[in-house]
Structure 1
Amino acid sequence: MSAPLMALGLFTFGLSTAPFNEIKRSTQERWESRNPVGAGPTYQHLGPGEDTITLDGVLMPELTGGPANLDKLRAMQASGKAWIMVSGQGENLGKWFIQSVDETQSHFAGPGLARRIAFTLKLTRYWDESSDRLGNLMDSMPEAR
């Protein structure tokens, strides 16, 4: 069994679920401009802005997880909840919600069975400190392979 790459709730990204091969992170800060008369603009720092993570990966259902795992991620997305994300090294990365799940199926065998499914998952940091919008952990269990 390989080590997990990351976990979102109880959904653990790994070879048997949804292994990703690339992770991109974009972190922004919020600034407000003020335009004083007779001078150039000044700026006031307002705090953290959007923080997004994009995971790109490929499923090969004969070797890795399959479409059911992408369906689980879509169900988590549709719940409208945020999930605790933990890195593969055990670092708590905070609460995140699933912004989008994209997939491209190819290399078909038989009646519409894709042998290769490329996916992109976009996650956005959820800054609210309350636990009202936190997902139920049992709703994030990946499908058994």
Structure 2
Amino acid sequence: MMMIFGMFVFSIPTATYQSLQRSTSWNHANNSRFGTSPAYQYTGKGEDSITLDGSIVPEFGSQLSLTALRLMGDTGKSFPLIGGSGKIYGMWVLESVDETQTYFFKNGKPRLVEFSLKLTKTQTAGVLVGNVLGNIVGNIL
């Protein structure tokens, strides 16, 4: 397992990604000042996003994987993102799925399906861990 997003597992039988790009921003408001540079004030965290670029070879994986991800996106819900090493990234929404099919068989089935997913963070890992632990303790009591 490379990573899990909600109940979707990134692996050879489903879909593998070859690159993970993460972009984090912070917000700063600026105030113009006469005769000098603008003054900047930190106003909070900005957007945190991850782009996963990968491929599916239909002989080894299923194109249904992208259908499953699209169905997850249709819900509009946030899902936990957890790396294969156990790193908890927090809660993320699926913003977009891009798909490119190439190298076709005679029947029109692609030999290679490349994809790009954009995820955007909605909650921090600390909130996710707190919610999970709270649910565990609540179920025990």
TM beyond 0.5: yes
Q: Provide the C-alpha distance between the structure 1 equivalents of 2:55 and 2:36, rounded to a whole number of angstroms.
A: 53
- Provide the residue aligned with 1:106 in structure 2: 102
Aligned length: 126
Gaps of 5+ in 2: 129-141
Moved over 3 A (4+): 36-39, 127-130
Larger radius of gyration: 2
CA RMSD of aligned residues (A): 1.6
The one of 8, 12, 17 equivalent to 2:9 is 12
- Provide the residue aligned with 1:134 in structure 2: none
Q: Provide the C-alpha distance between the structure 2 equivalents of 1:88 and 1:73, rounded to a whole number of angstroms.
A: 18
Structure with the largest fraction of strand: 2
Letter in 1 for 2:67: D
More RCO (CA 8 Å, sep 6+): 1
Q: Provide the C-alpha distance between the structure 1 equivalents of 2:59 and 2:108, rounded to a whole number of angstroms.
A: 15
The one of 47, 65, 75 equivalent to 1:79 is 75
- Provide the residue aligned with 1:136 in structure 2: none
Q: Provide the C-alpha distance between the structure 1 equivalents of 2:13 and 2:66, rounded to a whole number of angstroms.
A: 12
- Provide the residue aligned with 1:135 in structure 2: none
- Provide the residue aligned with 2:135 in structure 1: none
Structure with the largest fraction of helix: 2
Q: Identity rate of aligned residues, in percent?
A: 39
Q: 1:58: how far off?
A: 1.0
Q: 1:44: how far off?
A: 0.7
Describe the superposition over 1:22-76 as per-residue Cα deviations: whole angstroms up to 9, x where unpaired. 111111111111123443211111121111111111100102x221000000011
Helix, strand or coil for the counterpart of 2:67? helix
- The alignment status of 1:94 with 2:99, answered yes or no, reads no
Gaps of 5+ in 1: 131-145
- Provide the residue aligned with 1:66 in structure 2: 62
Helix, strand or coil for the counterpart of 1:75? helix
